[in-house]
Every structure is written in C-alpha cells, then in structure tokens.
Amino acid sequence: MLNWLKLSVLPSLAAAVISLLGKTMRMGTVGGERVDALMRDGQPMIIAFWHGRQLMLPLAYRGKSASILISQSRDGEIIARIMRHFGFGAVRGSSSRGGGQAIRHLLKVARQGHDVIVTPDGPRGPACQVQAGVIYLAKVTGFPIVPLTFACSKKKSSPVGIDSRFLTLA
C-alpha cells in the first residue's frame, strides 16, 4: 500500500506542487540566450546541474525533447515518474549502479538529437564534484555541457540524499 502510494500518488502530487510553486513564484532567468542560440543552431546539449538544485529545474527546460539520467534506486523511480509529468524521458543508471548501460542508452538518445540532462554529482556524491561520465558523454557526442543552477529567496533543505536537497517553501 505504501509503495503504491509512493509510486502512484506521490509523483503526481509532487509534479503538481512543483508546477504550483513555479506559477506562484516570481521567476527570472539569466543566460537563457545561450541556450536559445544553441537550439536555433539545432545543436543538442547536455544540461548539467547540481543534485541539490534539482527541485525546480523541470520548469527551466526550453527545448523540445530531453532525457534525464536518473538512478536505479526507488527514489530514482519516484523522480523518473515525476519527470514524466513534465514530458522528460528517463535513462536509468548512475556511477554506482548501471552506469555503463546508462551511458550507452544516453549515447543512443543523444544520437537521435535529443538533449540530455544530468546531475554530474548525483545521486550518491560526493556533492558538488563532477563524475567522469558527463565529460565522457560530451567528448563522445560532441555536445556542449550547459551548466544550469537555481536559487530562490525562501528555502529549506532536507537531509536527504548526498547533500541537502533543495526544497522551496513559502
């Protein structure tokens, strides 16, 4: 029952909360023209942000199609389902489990011209240290890595995962 709630109800609820937060916050963007220029040129990209900044980032995406690298853990399954609500595909794996298979899958996705989204330090960290996989992916695909971050005026952090996951509370 608990698992059913986590996997069926929680993702929809979380996606609704993220959307609602996005609508009620006064959002600003800096540097969007860099991404727009790449998109105008038809250049797919690898979007990278720290694991601890991920909460509101589904709303930042400006492209047409992207897949996100998400761990094979149960939390990863919940995140993958939340991301599906925002139209993202999921490639499952991480440096600690299923990494090789995930990289191969990401390469396939990239070669089809889709953007790829990664947390270069996730999911097990160390926090804010880049794992080699994202750089390897950029080297092999020739796609640029575009760094992205998010800040908000009110926030609380929860001690979940490799670092304090970034939560936004009114």
Catalog residues that contact another protein under the rule CB under 8 A: 22, 24-32, 34-35, 38, 45, 48-50, 53, 56-57, 60, 120, 128-132, 134-136, 138-140, 142, 144-154, 168, 170
CB of 152 to another protein, least distance (A): 4
Residue 3 or 126: which CB sits closer to another protein? 126
Axis-axis angle for helices 74-85, 10-24 (nearest 10):
50
- Is the peptide bond preceding residue 126 cis, with omega within 30 degrees of 0? yes
CB of 41 to another protein, least distance (A): 11
CB of 128 to another protein, least distance (A): 6
Residue with tokens 């953007």: 115
Residue 77 or 102: which CB sits closer to another protein? 102
Residue 67 burial class via C-beta count within 10 angstroms: exposed 0-12, middle 13-18, buried 19 and up: buried
* Contact criterion met (CB below 8 Å) for 86 and 16: no
CB of 55 to another protein, least distance (A): 10
Q: How far is CA 104 from the centre of its chain?
A: 18
Residue 112 or 149: which CB sits closer to another protein? 149
Residue 5 or 136: which CB sits closer to another protein? 136
Q: What is the three-class DSSP state of 11?
A: helix
Task: Quote the tokens at residue 45.
Answer: 């990209």
What one-character DSSP code corresponds to residue 101?
Answer: H
CB of 8 to another protein, least distance (A): 29
Residue 58 or 81: which CB sits closer to another protein? 58
